[in-house]
Chain A
Amino acid sequence: MLRVKNLTTGYDGVPVVFDVSLEVNQAEFVAIVGSNGAGKTTILRTISGLLKPISGEIEFEGKQIHKLSAHEIVRLGIAHVPEGRHVFGKMSVKDNLLMGAYTLNDRAKVNKLLNEVFEIFPRLKERENQKAETLSGGEQQMLAVGRALMAEPKLMLVDEMSLGLMPMMVDKVLETLKQINKEKGVTILLVEQKVQEALEMADRGYVLQTGRIVAHGTGKELLESDLVKKAYLGM
């Protein structure tokens, strides 16, 4: 579904990600793990069009997308849940969700999606008229995920869900993602520095170190590999 080929990307022509290739198949749950500063976010930002690659290619459903701008890429069915939540704080919860469906013009469909999101996150329904900035961190994260779902994405890019959330909340949001992946068939590419949690959840994973992929395999394989055990799990 998504193929990243020999991608080198970074900021203002200075690369921070080198020659990365990865693949995400239909309905898969894939995780890119690595420590802070490894370049995980940079990869996601390049896929969603916020950054332009220095070299390499990105293909989505057989179509090259790395020359498109971000708002065009959304329309192909890629929704990006950005790091640090980034909801529209001054807008109501409901308006935030409606912004997520900006690319859709069918009202009935938007309402249906809205109800589905409220079903997954009943808390958002309770607060639908509140300004998003008044939500707790966990609720804002739910809102960011809900907003991405409103675009009816085929592929969801999820950046560092765990950031600033308490551990219990992290597990909860990750489980919700898994549920979305299994029940709705939304393909997920997750980026996470909570290596263990992410790999337990994911079908497959890639390990990123200082901008390069150093290992990949199923979640289980990676968790049992010496590299991951030593570098990330302290074993």
Chain B
Amino acid sequence: MSMLAQLVVTGALIGSVYSLVAVGLTLVWGLMDILNFAHGDFMMISMYTVFWLYALLKWDPLVSLPIAALVAAMIGLLTYKLVIKRVLNAPGLMALLATFGLSLFIRNFAQFLWSPNYRFVGESILSGKKLMIFDVIVGLPQLVAALGSIGMTFAVALFIKKTKFGKAIQATAQSREIAELMGVDTEKVYMFTFALSGICVGVAGTLLSGIFPVYPESGAMYGLLAFVIVALGGFGNIWGAFYAGIMIGLAETIGGFYLGTQFKYAIAFLIYLLVLQFRPKGLFGW
């Protein structure tokens, strides 16, 4: 029993970080029907940012957070300006291929610059600390990563739902042309959303950099899982992505424990395939 409780806690914690990665992805999809294959690689860049600030300046990951988020935001913005904007009016496949190419480029460029070696952010304020809640062990880095991710997800959801600019994003998602007729500078909306998407994944990357190794492929699996989560949650649906992220976190942790950790991702993707058979619009889709 206490084992199951431990697994549920561990799964929910990692799941909430998955959620935040997926929220970034679903924002862009919801706004412009573009799946950004390089999304996970933005995360890798933010992890390297944290690593280098740690290695060179001894900065704690939590201190580097705003900088890593800003770097990811800039990468998002540049991606929009240099890549996405050029294929926006082309058939959907073009954008898909463009971001796929970008992903390959970023990964290989990272490998060229920093080698494929695993790097670790060895020490941080949080590292090694744990809480005992009844007989469930909660690592402080994991707890902070989860709380930070949930906080960020809520902030993004509230921003989109309640603020004037958030409503302009919703309006632009429904029709770019009509939003223009309302006086919305939709180019700005696109730029901002790509930057916000970068911030989401940058924050997630920072929070994970104290837990997982940093290497050129370190964002790849998160990017892939984020696709699964976005599809499960219903494309463009922020809360859907949130719930689906937690679900995938639970499934891979619990399933991985009972079936063997080598199967943990297989379980996540199997759930995805099954759900798509019966609910192609996702569990929480319209």
Interface string of B145-186 (1 = CB under 8 A from A): 000000000000000000010011011001101111111111
Complex Cα spacing A229 to B41, Å = 67
Contact across chains for B180 and A95 when beta carbons are under 8 A apart: no
Query: Within the complex, what minimum Cβ distance (angstroms) separates A51 from chain B?
Result: 10
Contact across chains for A102 and B180 when beta carbons are under 8 A apart: no
Contact across chains for B184 and A71 when beta carbons are under 8 A apart: yes
Of the four ranges (under 10, 10 to 19, 20 to 34, 35 or more), the interface on chain A belongs to: 20 to 34
Complex Cα spacing A95 to B168, Å = 10
Q: Is A182 an interface residue (CB 8 A)?
A: no
Contact across chains for B183 and A102 when beta carbons are under 8 A apart: yes
Instruction: Name the A residues within 8 Å of B168 (CB-CB).
Output: 99, 102
B177 to A, closest residue via Cβ:
A50
Complex Cα spacing A152 to B177, Å = 20
Query: Within the complex, what minimum Cβ distance (angstroms) separates B134 from chain A?
Result: 43
Instruction: Name the A residues within 8 Å of B167 (CB-CB).
Output: 91, 95, 98-99
Complex Cα spacing A89 to B164, Å = 17
Contact across chains for B174 and A90 when beta carbons are under 8 A apart: yes
Contact across chains for B183 and A151 when beta carbons are under 8 A apart: yes
Which residues of A in the span 171-223 have a Cβ within 8 Å of any Cβ on B?
Answer: none
For the A-B complex, the count of residue pairs with Cβ-Cβ distances under 8 Å equals: 61
Complex Cα spacing A103 to B182, Å = 7
Contact across chains for A102 and B184 when beta carbons are under 8 A apart: yes
Instruction: Name the B residues within 8 Å of A48 (CB-CB).
Output: 181
Interface of B is mostly: helix
Q: Which of the candidate stretches A14-22, A33-41, A74-82 sits at the interface with the other chain?
A: A74-82
Contact across chains for B180 and A70 when beta carbons are under 8 A apart: yes
Complex Cα spacing A74 to B185, Å = 11
Complex Cα spacing A90 to B184, Å = 17
Contact across chains for A88 and B183 when beta carbons are under 8 A apart: no
Instruction: Name the A residues within 8 Å of B177 (CB-CB).
Output: 50, 70, 82
Instruction: Name the B residues within 8 Å of A79 (CB-CB).
Output: 181
Instruction: Name the A residues within 8 Å of B175 (CB-CB).
Output: 86, 88
Query: Within the complex, what minimum Cβ distance (angstroms) separates A138 from chain B?
Result: 19
Complex Cα spacing A48 to B171, Å = 18
Q: Is A64 an interface residue (CB 8 A)?
A: no
Instruction: Name the A residues within 8 Å of B164 (CB-CB).
Output: 98, 102
Contact across chains for A70 and B181 when beta carbons are under 8 A apart: yes
Interface string of A95-119 (1 = CB under 8 A from B): 1001110110000000000000000
Complex Cα spacing A180 to B160, Å = 33
Contact of B170 among A70, A86, A90 (CB under 8 A): A90
Q: Is A225 an interface residue (CB 8 A)?
A: no
Query: Within the complex, what minimum Cβ distance (angstroms) separates B192 from chain A?
Result: 14
Complex Cα spacing A164 to B48, Å = 57
Complex Cα spacing A99 to B181, Å = 10
Contact across chains for B183 and A86 when beta carbons are under 8 A apart: no
Contact across chains for B171 and A88 when beta carbons are under 8 A apart: yes
Known: A82-B178, A86-B178, A102-B164. A75 touches B170 (CB 8 A): no
Complex Cα spacing A134 to B179, Å = 20
Contact across chains for A99 and B182 when beta carbons are under 8 A apart: yes
Contact of B174 among A50, A80, A88 (CB under 8 A): A88
- Residues of A participating in the B interface, judged by any CB pair closer than 8 Å: 48-50, 69-71, 74-75, 79-80, 82, 86, 88-91, 95, 98-100, 102-103, 147, 151
- Residues of B participating in the A interface, judged by any CB pair closer than 8 Å: 164, 167-168, 170-171, 174-175, 177-186
Q: 21 A-B residue contacts at CB 8 Å?
A: A48-B181, A49-B180, A50-B180, A69-B185, A70-B181, A71-B181, A75-B183, A79-B181, A82-B181, A90-B174, A91-B171, A91-B174, A99-B168, A99-B182, A102-B164, A102-B168, A102-B183, A103-B182, A103-B183, A147-B182, A151-B182
Q: Which 9 A-B pairs have CB atoms at the shortest separation, nearest pair first?
A: A70-B180, A74-B183, A103-B183, A102-B182, A102-B183, A99-B182, A80-B181, A88-B174, A71-B183
